[in-house]
Chains A and B, each alone.
Chain A
Amino acid sequence: MPIFSLASPELALLILSGLILLIDVFTPQRLRFLTYLLVQATLVVAFLLAIAQYRHHAELLVTFNGHYVVDKLAILLKLFIYVMSFASFAYAREYIEERKIASSEYYILGLFCVMGMSVMASAYSLLTIYLGLELLSLPLYALVASHKDSQQATEAAMKYFVMGALASGMLLYGISILYGLTGSIQIPEIARLIHAAPTATVSLALIFILAALLFKFGAVPFHMWVPDVYQGAPTSVTLFIASAPKIAAFGITMRILVQALPELHVAWEQILTVIAFLSMFFGNLLAIVQTNIKRMLAYSSIAHIGYSLLGIIAGPSSHDGYSAALFYITTYVLVAAGAFGIVALLSRTGIEADQLEDYRGLNARNPWLAFMLLLLMFSMAGVPPTVGFFAKLGLLVSLVEAHRVWLAVAALVFALIGAYYYLRVVMLMYFEEPTEANASKPVTLSWDMQLAVTVNGVAVLALGVLPSALIDLCRIVI
């Protein structure tokens, strides 16, 4: 008999999203605002249930015949996922209202994505990992296409769908090889049986699975979809794609690489080293030449994924490489959500504020918003006292500890290159005059959006000043 209470966050998400679907159908058009509130309330409920689990379950518990696991890692990932999804829905509200995107479907599909990520976070068999990934991706494709009037969005959705289907196929092929070798799809069983299997065949499975995972992360050379999708999708969807799914992808990477295939750590360390290096190189270099801020942030996300992979590389031979990677990806996601959030807030009906030119002289138009974007850009560049500095520091320390000094030096050099285009945004905002078309238009925000941006920006600063709590949390779970 499975212990249903362990899966309470997922069950709550499922039941409540079913209810919301029904309520939404019978709600008159003018009360559709209710759907948004209910979706956010669902996320709060799931968050509270996960917190209750964190208090009660100190040790690893497996249920549903080994398909579901509750450990500190799963619970913490879920908490992060719920918070970031809450933030991305909050940022999205005004944006999609202005563009007449069907809002109830938007939030409900988003809720399905959250459910998929939740399943991924506590998946303990390859089958559940795959299903969770699909449950995340399928609504995401639809969300990207949700702005039907935009040709760009449709094209981006098509690209995302085709590439995503290819990645799913590769993941399934790798899983099938692993199953053929070990006769099991359970993560601990695979870890136990894998050493008896021939190495060459296991490497083949590893390569296919890694390719699929890196595709979901958007690391070089599987990054081709990232700039197009980030630019083409409605900004609120870009914000969503750039935030919570990265945390979930980190979760399944930990399960597959570290928990199922620890025997092969030499092989995946080598592969990831090449990929992290290339991601940092191409991500930072190609971001410099972009004039579209969404595209620039897309390339920057490729670079940041490269950085967080460094932690996984350092993991097996250092003290807390994995926790550094988790810390890095969490804080990056927070910062990216804020940056895309500001892009979404500056956009008005019919106007996308996605060119760098639109940020010229932002300080004169709305000083507070400019200051928040300054904090976010500083954090991405890794300038103290923002949180990005400590994230990078933790990674470099664990890299040096793992005797990969050259990689740490390379990461530092690429970070310096990256600082150029982050600081260019800051320079445009503070030291340039607004363009003539924009000069007369001050930026006004509604109070809740103002609050969201402020919380996000202050969190980046506060975590930078007092990072120890979150660092400790990341250290405990792994």
Chain B
Amino acid sequence: MQVVHIVFYIFAAMAVVSALVVISVRNPVRSVLALVVTFFSMAGVWMILSAEFLSLILLLVYVGAVMTLFLFVVMMLNANSTGSREGFTRYLPFGILLVLLLVALMIISFGSSFTQLPAPVPPGADYSNVTQLGAVLYTEYAYPFEIAGVLLLAAIVAAISLAHRTPKQRKSQNINEQLRVRREDRVRLVKMPPEKKNDLS
């Protein structure tokens, strides 16, 4: 076993454990922090695969920006351990069954053939992940790349259309209207016939 293997197992174990923590802790802030650890360990695994660029992007974009934003949102919303665990025990047997089935399926399919698969060729010393990506991203993969761009546009439109409320539904002050108000709009003078006191005399 080489050093690389040991490093891989450390990162993999970290990823699995922290992913379990994400779904099992009650406090959402801790959950988000555990997700940060998951991303971090996955970045480590990618580094071993010599995908340095992607690994750093994962750290910068996901851990640095997205997860921090997420943390802010969770803290601002003050969503405090509201998740109930009612269904947990009820769905647990079904979940375990599903996981066991999947694991058995994987063992059957990978178990025998795992050794038959050729090992990937290790990249040479002058291999550069960035150059490789740059060479194919805008040439060979231009079409999928563009679709991914359209996907982001669609996501923006979808997010705005879901979050946006028309002013009518929102409670907001209209200063102009408030200043322009006249006495006639607010006070109504009603003419009424004078009423007699209903005395007994």
Contacts and interface: CB of A to CB of B under 8 A. Distances in A.
Given A64-B143, A128-B143, A135 B109 contact: no
Contact of B154 (A102, A138, A146): A138
A65 B139 contact: yes
Given A135-B150, A198-B112, A201-B110, A142 B162 contact: yes
Contacts of B166: 102
B147 interface: yes
Nearest to A100: B166
A115 B109 contact: no
Contacts of A200: 108-110, 112-113
Nearest to B158: A142
B143 A138 contact: no
B176 interface: no
Contacts of A148: 162, 165
Contacts of A112: 150, 153-154, 157
Contacts of B130: none
Nearest to B112: A200
Interface residues of A, number: 40
B151 interface: yes
Contact of B161 (A7, A102, A128): A102
A128 B157 contact: no
Contacts of A378: none
B38 to A, nearest CB: 15
Contact of B113 (A18, A127, A201): A201
Contacts of A146: 161-162
B150 to A, nearest CB: 6
A132 B142 CA distance: 14
Given A142-B158, A204-B105, A127 B150 contact: no
B155 interface: yes
B157 A109 contact: yes
A367 interface: no
Given A2-B143, A134-B151, A201-B110, A139 B116 contact: no
A178 interface: no
Contacts of B158: 109, 138-139, 141-142
Contacts of A142: 157-159, 161-162
Interface string B150-175: 11011101111110111000000000
A67 interface: yes
Contacts of B148: 131
Most A-side CB within 10 Å, residue of B143, B155, B157, B160 = B143
B64 interface: no
Chain B interface mostly helix, strand, loop or mixed? helix
Nearest to B113: A198
Given A105-B161, A109-B161, A142-B161, A67 B151 contact: no
A67 B143 contact: yes
Contacts of A138: 151, 154-155, 158
A103 to B, nearest CB: 11
Nearest to A65: B140
A131 B147 contact: yes
A108 interface: yes
Contact of B147 (A18, A135, A139, A207): A135
Contacts, number: 91
B106 A204 contact: yes
A2 B151 contact: no
A145 B162 contact: yes
B181 to A, nearest CB: 25
A309 interface: no
B144 interface: yes
A443 interface: no
A148 B163 CA distance: 10
B109 A204 contact: yes
A127 B144 CA distance: 7
A36 to B, nearest CB: 15
A14 interface: yes
A433 to B, nearest CB: 41
Given A134-B151, A201-B113, A204-B106, A68 B143 contact: yes
B141 interface: yes
Interface of A: 2, 7, 14, 18, 21, 64-65, 67-68, 102, 105-106, 108-109, 112, 115-116, 119, 125, 127-128, 131-132, 134-135, 138-139, 141-142, 145-146, 148, 180-181, 198, 200-201, 203-204, 207
26 contacts: A2-B143, A21-B157, A65-B139, A65-B140, A65-B143, A67-B141, A105-B160, A131-B148, A132-B147, A134-B151, A135-B147, A138-B155, A138-B158, A139-B154, A139-B158, A141-B158, A142-B157, A142-B161, A142-B162, A198-B112, A198-B116, A200-B109, A200-B110, A200-B112, A204-B106, A204-B109
Given A125-B144, A142-B158, A200-B113, 18 more contacts: A7-B143, A14-B150, A65-B143, A67-B141, A109-B157, A109-B158, A112-B157, A115-B150, A131-B147, A135-B154, A139-B158, A141-B158, A142-B157, A201-B109, A201-B113, A203-B109, A204-B110, A207-B105
